[in-house]
Structure 1
Amino acid sequence: MSSPTTPHGADQRRGPFRSGERVQLTDEKGRMNTITLTPGGAFHTHKGFLTHDVLIGQPEGCVVSNDTGHKYQALRPLLSDFVLSMPRGAAVVYPKDAGQIVTMADIFPGARVVEAGVGSGALSISLLRAVGDQGYLHSFERREEFADIARGNVETIFGGPHPAWQISLGDFQDEVVKQEAPGSVDRVVLDMLAPWECLDAVATVLAPGGVWISYVATVTQLSRTAEAIRADGRFTEPDGWESMVRGWHLEGLAVRPDHRMVAHTGFLLTARRLADGVTGLTPKRRASKSEFSAADLKTWAPDDEHWDTEALGERAVSDKRLRRAAKDAASTVQRGAFKNTDQPDSAGGQVTDQ
């Protein structure tokens, strides 16, 4: 049970292993497996089996042996581990990008944040950790299946519904202006195909000085969003970037870059809301051939009414796969739910169809 001063979900990160928890097992060759502890359960491999009862009650960081003597190091999965292994229906926002979003958008404790779309809930988890129990995160998702998957994943890592979270179904640009008062939002986070379509909605709900950050997959999306923000006049000059992560092999004097790296996953674009009636300053640049024509716009979006999502790098997800992922996410919650009795089940994570 959490005390009133304990951040939501913190108890699940401390103390000995308990039934229903997810535990990451690493063998002597560095191979990792994540299991959910169940009384009487067992983890089987070709090297033998390890009973879950051996782990329940043990301190985090212990080393245990299976029936044939093979050893495993046991730790709770970090957020980055959980995000990359959780049930999903859509591609997740990678930890490196989620960290950039939280920092570069200045997501602070107590902030009022809106996001769209939710996907599998990876970014929602990072945003909820940043705003805290006294903050506010309103997530908008067009597909109910994605909302179900996200809810299951969020409740798994926090041990139940989060008090600062609300999900609504529908198109962001239509719903956010109905449900959020003008100028009441501190930060807007968009992960969608056409963020430029949301200019008016973002400008309406975002407070002066507030940050708008968009996550897009392709150069054409990045370019069109930036040009739309410039043309609108209610925001500061947009900034765009991407991040890449390269690990290093560390073994004695054999210190070198890893052969594999997490390279391009997406672009991030930020801008800040100006005060009403203010004309933003345009940076002075040398004359260049940077203007675009109607033909260029056609290249950006051959048909604005019918976006080719696969052409923009988004893979289609079958309904069968979505249903399976939602079932897996819900099952994970049921096996490992640590319900916070201080908070009613309806405190957060509700889906409302406005």
Structure 2
Amino acid sequence: MTGTADQTAAPTPATPRGALNRRGPFRAGERVQLTDERGRMNTVTLAADGEFHSHRGVLSHGELIGRPEGTVVENSAGFRYQALRPLLKDFVLSMPRGAAVVYPKDAGQIVTMADIFPGARVVEAGVGSGALSISLLRAVGDQGHLHSFERRAEFADIARGNVETMFGGPHPAWRITIGDLAQELGQYEQPGSVDRVVLDMLAPWECLDAVATALAPGGVVMCYVATVTQLSRTAEAMRADGRFTEPDASETMVRGWHVEGLAVRPDHRMVAHTGFLLSARRLADGSERLAPKRRASKSEYSQEDLDAWTPVALGERDVSDKKLRRAGREALGLAERAARATGPAGAGVSDPGAQDPASAGPGGAAAAAPVPGEEQEDRP
């Protein structure tokens, strides 16, 4: 199935998209993170008549609406909560999802190492739940352009809802197309017109020809892959293509530290391997890749190797259509509330329901139903 959901917009507002719902007092429709005295966090969506229930009592949302960020409030049983707007890293870990998200540590590396700059023309493949799309949109800004390709309409609905929740409405720089990047990129982007390409997909080597055609000389392609077999095959495909520089591979690990008085030590838990990053740059047409000479090594792939790169073999969970539809309804419902929270300033950019029916999930635009549950405990 192929379709296009263009995020058409009115003239770009003077205030950058997303700034309005990051400032000022709390408003109904906003997502707020409540942290108790033991450091446990819950994220709620404020409503005029809403309540946050726990085994330790009830907290009325009215205690927060109109109050400044950083307020400490007590619930009916006298337990205190610290209320703050979720940071991007918090939002990503608590938002509705249908696919695994790109963790903040990797998203930060992608934005930096791929040199995503304000005003850049960026293409993304594999939208998933929209975590990386949010980081890319923040980097390109309102004057940039992010064209995201996603094969599954259900994932596109979830991503759209999460993006609109974060920015308080449709982002003027975002366009999402339902389809295969390898087949459709050339229909939408002119040769040599794209500055950066980010591939978060199972088989990025299948898209390298389309990517090389669309990238401008000097442009960057960044691939996010989960396993060493994917990493190896993608790197060899880049070398074989001949239009890219020598690929550079890395992974990022983050280890927190416990700091309390003289008790200073590494945390017992850390976010270790989540994925590999592989990047290269587009050479000018007719130029030859310069690379250090190496001794010949095995570069052919057997059928057994190819079978190892199936989604099941890589440990991907089979997400049911019912779960995807539920996550899509939740994400789009949160987006509607976020748009209302920003008021007239956030409502004039675009109609959240004005999207291509071909790109909508089974529920279409009507899928933006009430959110199944307002309260959600943050999860890694």
TM-score by length of 2: 0.87
- Matches of 1:172 and 1:272, distance apart in 2: 19
- Per-residue deviation, residues 223-245 of structure 1 (Å, max 9, x unmatched): 00000101111000000010011
Question: In 2 relative to 1, CA 103–36 (structure 1 residues): closer, same or farther, beyond 3 Å?
Answer: same
Task: Percent identity, please.
Answer: 72
CA contact (8 A) 2:12 2:172 kept: no
The aligned counterpart of 2:278 is 269
1:23·1:34 contact (CA, 8 Å) conserved in 2? yes
Partner residue of 1:314 out of 313, 316, 319: 316
Tell me which of 323, 333, 350 is aligned to 1:344: 350
**Residues 1-354 of structure 1 aligned to structure 2 (within 5 Å):** 4-285=13-294, 287=295, 290-293=297-300, 296-302=301-307, 308-337=310-339, 338=342, 340-345=346-351
Residues 350 and 98 of structure 1: CA distance in aligned 2, closer, same or farther (over 3 Å): farther
Aligned residues of 2:212 and 2:282 also touching (Cα < 8 A): yes
Return the letter of the residue paired with 1:142.
R
Kindly provide the CA deviation profile for residues 121-146 of structure 1, in whole angstroms up to 9, marking residues without a partner as x.
00000000000000000000000000
In structure 2, what is the Cα distance between the partners aligned to 1:199 and 1:319? 30
Q: Report the CA distance between 1:67 and its aligned residue.
A: 1.5
Which segments of 5 or more consecutive residues in structure 2 lack a partner in the other structure? 1-10, 360-380
Per-residue CA distance 1:314-337 (angstroms, 9 max, x = gap) = 222111111111011112123332
DSSP-derived class of the 1:23 partner:
strand
CA contact under 8 A between 2:336 and 2:352: conserved in structure 1? no
Give yes or no for contact 1:162–1:347 (8 Å, CA) kept in 2: no
Higher relative contact order (CA 8 A, sep 6+): 2
CA separation in 2, counterparts of 1:267 and 1:326?
28
CA contact (8 A) 2:195 2:220 kept: yes
The CA distance in 2 between the partners of 1:317 and 1:180, in whole Å, is 31
Q: Which runs of 5+ in 1 are unaligned?
A: none
User: Does the Cα contact within 8 Å between 1:162 and 1:349 map onto a contact in 2?
Assistant: no
Shift of 1:349: 7.5
Alignment partners' CA distance in 2, 1:272 and 1:351 = 36
Q: CA deviation at 1:39?
A: 0.6
Decide which moves more: 337-346 or 139-148.
337-346
Residues 180 and 85 (structure 1 numbering): CA distance in 2 closer, same or farther, change over 3 Å? same
- Give the CA RMSD over aligned residues: 1.9
In 2, distance between residues paired with 1:236 and 1:322? 39
Q: What letter matches 1:264 in structure 2?
A: H
Instruction: Name the TM-score, length of structure 1 as normaliser.
Output: 0.93
SS of residue paired to 1:80 = helix
Q: Which portions of structure 1, spanning 4 or more consecutive aligned residues, are displaced by more than 3 angstroms?
A: 346-353
Residues of 2 paired with 1:210 and 1:248: CA distance? 37
Preserved CA contact (<8 Å) 2:189 2:214: yes
Question: How many residue pairs get matched?
Answer: 345
Point out the more displaced range, 337-346 or 180-189.
337-346
